[in-house]
Amino acid sequence: MEGEIGTIYRISGPVVVAKGLGAKMYDLVKVGNEELMGEVIQISGDKTTIQVYENTTGIKPGEPVKTTGQPLSAYLGPGLLQSIYDGIQRPLDVLKQKSGDFIARGITASGLDEKKQWDFKATAKKGDTVTGGDVLGTVQETLNTIHKILVPPATTGKIKEINSGKFTITDNIGMLEDGTSLKLAHRWPVRKPRPYKEKLRPTIPLVTGQRLLDTLFPLAKGGTACIPGPFGSGKTVIQHQLAKWSDAQIVIYIGCGERGNEMTEVLKEFPHLQDVKTGRPLMERTVLIANTSNMPVAAREASIYTGITIAEYYRDQGYDVSLMADSTSRWAEAMREISSRLEEMPGEEGYPAYLASRLAEFYERAGRIKCLGKEERLGSVTPIGAVSPPGGDFSEPVTQNTLKVTKVFWALDAKLAHRRHFPAINWLTSYSLYIDSLKQWYIDNVAKDWPEVRKETMYLLQREEELQEIVQLVGSDALPEKERLILETTRLIRQGFLQQNAFHPIDSFCSAQKQFKMLKTILDFYHMANDAVKENVPVETIVNIESLASLVKAGFIEEKEFDKKIKEIQDQMKKEFGKITAKGVKA
């Protein structure tokens, strides 16, 4: 019950045991004289175990513990976008004003600005019967984002009154006949998935503008992906690229247990990134959750749930949301530390036995859905989790358990990163299980022969790997001409297609149509070269044609000029092959 008080019995780091506290599982509690925020995670007889989201140094047995009677909840309403929160949705700018550069213990702050007035335009009318998920009206949250004010999921009734005008999130905008107040914001428990009408099949890709991802290993909207990779292989840059270029309308970025300097870089860079679709700052459609490695581990564990609850809230408004979790390894390490302090039986490498089920619970909240409410709306949440395996060892428990529940695996490779090949995603160990379900979209929206082009590209890249083993033993000169041609073609694919410059104004983004035409032109070269080899033309002659240099740089051609330029490259290539084969004029 709310306000019930117990006393501290035992303290072990962030884990506190209280006696005489009549709390429920996952209730939010205030611990000690400083009222540190914590959450009930275990109840045994009259003893209640609490994980505390703040540093417990200095608190002692006998101090009071008070329950709020409510679970840890996210405050959902206008003002979430452009915010930077800690793991339990305290705005960092407000905390800085209250306590300076370091967060003081016991400090609290509302997740939303309770003083700011929003211009609410009611669309529901007096006398309407509403249920959870129905739209009451709209607020212009940022210049390009309309925030739909929803009836909270468990609420239903007939509207007694509703008003348009300027309101804060604590003001009543209306009332139901049973006396329930309607407000611009509501709270939702972070560990409880928000309900929906129906989950849809993943048939639409999340177009990222990254050639390697979109063409070879596509991710569906509402799908799940993981990016495992060692230190320095480019996880953060890839997540920046996905946030900046993917066709998701809302971006949630969770820095979960990352190094302070890396998180600082993200916090400094994101506000300056420009949204290419609108020309406005990318932050206008972004929520950042910052939980650095020196912050209390319990708050790190909560940050993932806070982030995905905010993502589900925007999904319920009919938006496509991408969620970047960087990195889930740090989240798992927080669980391991708390589990050891609870003296639970350790699983593999000391992680708790429930590691796999917690990862599954998180990724299961992904999906493309029909939203609750009378108005037809479709929304999606696409979680992309970075994993930081120690030493780049993909056989460790977090990577392996993540692979069991995610359907796209983008494996970062330190060797590729050292060779300055970026994105450093290994095309032989990566995979996507959405290929078949997305095939029809690519056929309808890109090209009818997209599946064949992708399949042939993957075959050539796999064949290259087999040939490289022979080359290392006997050298490439010992190979037949046809197989040497495969090596030259795959070099062209790697340099001209798979490599992409994240910092180049043009090459940073590549549309699906441009990707297909680039790859198709490379394969056209391969087919023409194959015919030339049959005419006894040496591979050395083939790789010296002038059009190849232009083809390698095709990614740097602007989209509006691309069709014209690629046609010129194709025509030049045909002429050059005409000259060097027996059918044309001999060189």
Mean pLDDT value of segment 10-37: 92
Pick from 142, 94, 135: which is nearest to 118 by CA? 142
Q: Residue 494 carries which DSSP code? A: I
Whether the pLDDT of residue 64 is over 60: the answer is yes
CB 53 within 8 A of CB 38: yes
How far is Cα 163 from Cα 149, in angstroms, rounded to an integer? 13
Band (pLDDT 50/70/90 cuts) for residue 273 is confident
Whether the pLDDT of residue 150 is over 90: the answer is yes
pLDDT of residue 3: 62
How far is Cα 267 from Cα 252, in angstroms, rounded to an integer? 13
Strand-pairing partners, residue 48, are: 18, 43
Q: Residue 554 carries which DSSP code? A: G
Band (pLDDT 50/70/90 cuts) for residue 587 is very low
Strand-pairing partners, residue 121, are: 138
Answer yes or no: pTM beyond 0.85.
yes
How far is Cα 495 from Cα 551, in angstroms, rounded to an integer? 10
The four Cα atoms 297, 394, 240, 561 give a dihedral, to 10 degrees, of -170
Whether the pLDDT of residue 78 is over 60: the answer is yes
Please, what's the largest Cα pairwise distance for the chain? 96
Domains and CATH numbers, the chain: 5-71 (2.40.30.20), 198-434 (3.40.50.300), 450-580 (1.10.1140.10)
Pick from 207, 220, 235: which is nearest to 381 by CA? 220
pLDDT of residue 585: 39
How far is Cα 176 from Cα 185, in angstroms, rounded to an integer? 16
More confident residue, 237 or 210: 210
Mean pLDDT value of segment 442-451: 96
Kindly report, residue by residue over 411-433, the tens digit of the pLDDT. Answer: 999 999 999 999 999 999 999 99
More confident residue, 478 or 413: 413
Residue 263 φ/ψ, nearest 5 degrees: -70, -35
CB 167 within 8 A of CB 402: no
pLDDT of residue 163: 94
CB 545 within 8 A of CB 576: yes
Band (pLDDT 50/70/90 cuts) for residue 293 is confident
Residues in the chain: 587
Q: Give the number of other Cβ atoms within 10 Å of residue 305's Cβ.
A: 22
Residue 166 φ/ψ, nearest 5 degrees: -95, 125
How would you class 471 by CB atoms within 10 Å of its CB: exposed for 0-12, middle for 13-18, buried for 19 or more? middle
Mean pLDDT value of segment 503-529: 95
Kindly report, residue by residue over 533-545, the tens digit of the pLDDT. Answer: 998 899 999 999 9
How far is Cα 521 from Cα 551, in angstroms, rounded to an integer? 8
pLDDT of residue 208: 95
User: What is the Cα 475 distance to its own chain's centre?
Assistant: 43
At residue 421, what is the residue type?
Answer: H
Q: Side-chain half-sphere of 301: how many Cα atoms within 13 Å?
A: 23
Whether the pLDDT of residue 441 is over 60: the answer is yes
Kindly report, residue by residue over 364-378, the tens digit of the pLDDT. Answer: 999 999 999 999 999
How far is Cα 397 from Cα 50, in angstroms, rounded to an integer? 26
Q: Are strands 225-228 and 378-387 parallel, antiparallel or unpaired?
A: parallel
Query: What would the two tokens of residue 337 be?
Result: 């530390």
Whether the pLDDT of residue 583 is over 80: the answer is no
Strand-pairing partners, residue 73, are: 189
The four Cα atoms 550, 540, 457, 465 give a dihedral, to 10 degrees, of -130
Band (pLDDT 50/70/90 cuts) for residue 467 is very high
